[in-house]
Chains A and B, each alone.
Chain A
Amino acid sequence: MTRPVDPEGRAARFIALEMHESTHDRLVWGMRHNRDKAVAGVPEWEDLRELASRIKDHTLTHLDHYLEEFEANAIRLGTHVHWARDAEEHNAVVYDVLAAHRVKSLIKSKSMLQEECGMTPYLQKRGIEVTESDLGERIQQLADEPPSHIVVPAIHKLRTDVAALFAEKIGTDPKDSDPHDLAEAMRQNARPKFMAADAGMTGANFAVAETGGFVVCTNEGNADIGAAVPPLHVASIGIEKLIPRARDLGIFIRMLSRSALGSPITQYTSHFHGPRRGGELHVVLVDNTRSDRLGSPDFWHVLKCIRCGACMNTCPVYRRGGGLSYGATYSGPIGVILGPGFDLSKYRELPFHSSLCGSCTEVCPVKIDISDQIYKWRRVVAAKGMLPLAKRVGMSALGATLAHPSLFHAAEATGEWALAHLPRFLLYNPLNPWGKRRELPAVPKQTFRQWYLENRRTS
């Protein structure tokens, strides 16, 4: 079994500086708040959710058909279409295309799929210089960290963190933490890299079967520069990104950025159909466990995800602990249900990194049953005997207690006595992570049942 990631320990390191926790919570909740305002301005929002959900359901239950339709139309437009079964094959296909064009330097925009495949280190090891062009991704690349959020990758960093990082890596003034100056410094740093790049790489938000093209949504326009300036454009597309018709984009584009940031649309919604004048276009269609997931009645709906990040912004656990605490490519509630599908042993703790409040399910624009899937992954982890010892012992004791009223009443009274009289270290010991940074409420003099028997039983 792979060693599991330790979300509690990672979250503890993140919140060691209180400013991180409070700023992260404020910023991420602000995105959720802006989402609510934007959604309220679209009276047909629930109709859109239902349509989006059914279109994705339809596409996934006919995915072979739509993949073939997309491929045929893309080829007709002059696009080179490649297929990759897993991460390793994806990286090898990309490298072969780049090597055939003698690519030395590559400018890329944000792609969670390329993160998932570990593409950047693979290419760097083979002598290709890879530069992230999205500001947040570039910050994470310079910090040698994965993205902590699928939309705003460096949202866990304070401006002073970024100032220190840029001072060290690109020579800015360490005392200047004005975000405007930091962003401008990165613009100046990145432009020559765009001009010198031999190839541009992007991901894709949607691939349209009917037209054989794909859509990339950014706010910086960095994907567009990477596609428009170097002669070669390579895009990595997960096979679940397909939608049937061009006009379905109307539904998804209206929902994506409203769900993510609360803006009606991203600043750039860019459509690529065949190579631009003077350029060459390659797409790599990637499986990497998606076809396995398709065959799982409990979990295939996760493939409907359009990567808006709304579930992360609303999640009380994500907001407080930060995205890096998940130790996975995808964080937040969507990461909790994606991670175990990639590596159950490694990510077996993630389904417990949730309060099961259900808010993620409520905000999901394509109606994925996220909180139900979190619960079902807990059952899978338990059934495989992968529960950590503390949870196993605690759960079976709890099960027995709740199953027998007399045991419960005894435990209730004992528990309240214990809360009032036991030394602190027994309650706030290292085996009980819930005791960290939390205070239990003051203990009443009697249990509710004792009060009820005295006061109400006879009436």
Chain B
Amino acid sequence: MSARDAILAAVRKNLPRPAVPLPENPGPERKGVKHGLGYKEHLTRLPEVPGAPDVNEPLLPYFRRQLEAMGGRSFEAADAAAAGAKVADLFPDAKVVCSAVPEVPGTRTIETVRDPHELNDVDVGVVRSPLGVAEAGAVWLTQADLVVNALGVLSQHLVVLLDPAAVVETMHDAYGRIDLAASPYGVFLAGPSATGDIEGVIIHGAQGARSLTVLLIDQTSR
């Protein structure tokens, strides 16, 4: 018997009983009902919990606050020129700026990269994310956005363009908007690479990007 058939047979023989039905996953569509999975419906005020969202707080400031808590930072950029200027301003010493977006041309466009190893010298990578998640301070990036996936992790610093209108509240909302099987790679990136492996001291830039900067810029800005 193949390993596959042997394992499936052993599993079938040992399935625990009684079988448990699959619970409905309320997901984002049930917001507003008593046991929904959003955050605002439940909240009156939790002053003793730092970082908890305020009922009246708009989504964007909450997203920016959570991103900062994860070690990232964000700036508003009015248009493509402002975004390019911001990158130049933040990284004056960058030699290689590899870009996957038209707003910031950089010194190298990702389309010219054939092999991920070519990205080992990148000082700043620039990409655009189609989705932000407020509660996690995270941006969503797929192979379609990165073109070469390694751009997200080999770049010393990463700049992510994000339309402020593309920020959703919770991870439930986020998973409701993406089609996982449509891309070989997709990552929720919340701040830069980090580690707490030596005495719990939080250090940014463990193996991936040393910093994550989100530039809030309308999708129509280019």
A interface residues, Cβ below 8 angstroms from B: 23, 27, 30-31, 37, 40-44, 47-48, 51, 54-55, 57-58, 60-64, 67-68, 71, 73, 77, 82-85, 89, 133-136, 139, 152-155, 157-159, 162, 179-180, 182-184, 187, 190-191, 194-195, 208, 211-213, 219-222, 224-225, 227-229, 239, 244-251, 253-254, 261, 263-279, 281, 285, 287, 291-292, 294-295, 297, 300
Contact = CB atoms under 8 A, between A and B. Distances in A.
Contact of A135 (B20, B25, B26, B197): B197
Which among B8, B49, B71, B182 has the greatest number of chain A C-beta atoms within 10 A?
B8
Contacts of B52: 40-41
Given A152-B197, A250-B175, A267-B192, A225 B154 contact: yes
B116 interface: yes
Interface in B145-159: 148-150, 152-154
A265 B149 contact: no
Given A229-B117, A268-B193, A271-B183, 18 more contacts: A48-B37, A51-B23, A54-B23, A62-B15, A134-B197, A152-B197, A155-B200, A158-B199, A180-B203, A220-B193, A222-B206, A228-B148, A228-B153, A239-B7, A246-B180, A249-B171, A250-B170, A267-B193
B200 A254 contact: no
Interface stretch (B91-99, B123-131, B135-143): B135-143
A219 B136 contact: no
Nearest to B133: A265
Contact of A275 (B19, B184, B187): B184
A37 B185 CA distance: 32
Contacts, number: 300
Interface stretch (B38-46, B77-85, B100-108, B214-222): B38-46
B66 interface: yes
B38 to A, nearest CB: 8
Contacts of B199: 23, 27, 158-159, 179
Interface string B1-18: 011101110111111111
A386 B193 CA distance: 47
Contacts of B3: 82-85, 89
A247 B174 CA distance: 9
Interface residues of B, number: 90
Contacts of A67: 7-8, 11
A43 B20 contact: no
Contacts of A267: 70-71, 189-194, 208
A152 B208 CA distance: 18
B143 A276 contact: yes
Contacts of A63: 11, 15
Contacts of B43: 43
Contacts of A191: 120, 207
B39 A43 contact: yes
Contact of B138 (A134, A162, A227, A265): A265
B208 A179 contact: no
Contact of B149 (A261, A273, A276): A276
Nearest to B6: A85
10 contacts: A30-B200, A43-B46, A83-B4, A183-B195, A239-B11, A265-B190, A267-B192, A267-B194, A276-B184, A287-B7
A154 to B, nearest CB: 6
The 7 closest A-B pairs by CB, nearest first: A221-B208, A295-B14, A136-B197, A43-B42, A291-B10, A220-B206, A250-B172
Nearest to B173: A250
B3 to A, nearest CB: 4
Which among A51, A62, A67, A270 has the greatest number of chain B C-beta atoms within 10 A?
A270
Nearest to B40: A43
Contact of B184 (A40, A268, A274, A287): A274
A177 to B, nearest CB: 9
B142 to A, nearest CB: 9
Given A68-B8, A83-B2, A225 B207 contact: yes
B15 A61 contact: yes
Contact of A224 (B25, B133, B153, B190): B153
Nearest to B201: A179
